[in-house]
Amino acid sequence: MIEGKAVRLRALRAEDAEHQLRWRNDPEVIRLAAAGDPRFGPTTVEALADRFGRILRLDPRESAVLTVEELAGGRPIGMVDYRDLDPYEGVAEVGIFIGEREFWDHGYGSEALGLLVDHLFGAFPLHRLELDTWSGNTRAARAFTRLGFQEEGCRRDAVLLAGTRYDRLLFGLLRREWEARRRRLAADGVPHATRAHDVPGD
């Protein structure tokens, strides 16, 4: 369990399937979080149960899905994940989404992502973390940048959503950049994982 100021990250549990089923069938959550990502989208109870079975067997040295809970009430509000963790190359890919709409734009997603980044750089010999979003999710892109991720490029017209093409934006964060950010925030007396705004839908 990884605890911050407003949220905690904890291991996925079987009962989390109930929340994920609702999130993954909410059109607005899908629009913001998925946008062409085949890992996320409308699903059934049976398909989600199968997916959960596979997730619960993941080797945490390579990938994991964690539930985001808000501290005040212990309510699951979203998830973070990491995957393709390569300790030799020193690279991993991360992801975040907040499924409960009432928790959008209040800093929960940014804190959750910051906690995950902190954990990964602390627990593994990683040099960089990567994530992506689509060009229509401008709030997510701004939040990633505020957390220290740099936009490194895009895959043009790679996302098809409701008949419209969007770019997929690629972001990266180096360990030295994260450590420098932590030092700056510590000098200002600000908890580093809670500085940015929320990351709606991503």
CATH 3.40.630.30 assigned to 2-193: yes
In degrees and rounded to multiples of 5, residue 114 shows phi and psi of -60, -40
pLDDT at 48 over 80: no
CA distance 65 to 51: 11
Domain boundaries defined on the chain: 2-193
Q: For the chain, what is the largest distance between any 2 Cα atoms, rounded to a whole number of angstroms?
A: 50
Q: What is the pLDDT of residue 128?
A: 98
Give the predicted TM-score (pTM) of the model: 0.85
Q: What average pLDDT score do residues 28-46 get? A: 67
Residue type, 147: L
**Predicted local distance difference test score (pLDDT) of residue 201:** 42
> In this predicted model, what pLDDT tens digit does every residue of 63-75 receive, in sequence order?
889 999 999 999 9
Buried b (16+ CB within 10 A) or exposed e, 182-194: beeeeeeeeebbb
Mean residue pLDDT across the chain: 84
Beta strand 164-174 pairing with 75-86: unpaired
Whether the pLDDT of residue 116 is over 70: the answer is: yes
Alpha carbon distance 7, 16 (integer Å) = 16
* Mean pLDDT of the region 114-120: 95
Lowest pLDDT segment from 16-25, 110-119, 173-182 = 16-25
The better pLDDT of the pair 177, 142 is held by 177
Please determine, for residue 172, whether its predicted confidence score (pLDDT) is greater than 80.
Answer: yes
Q: What is the mean pLDDT of residues 28-42?
A: 65
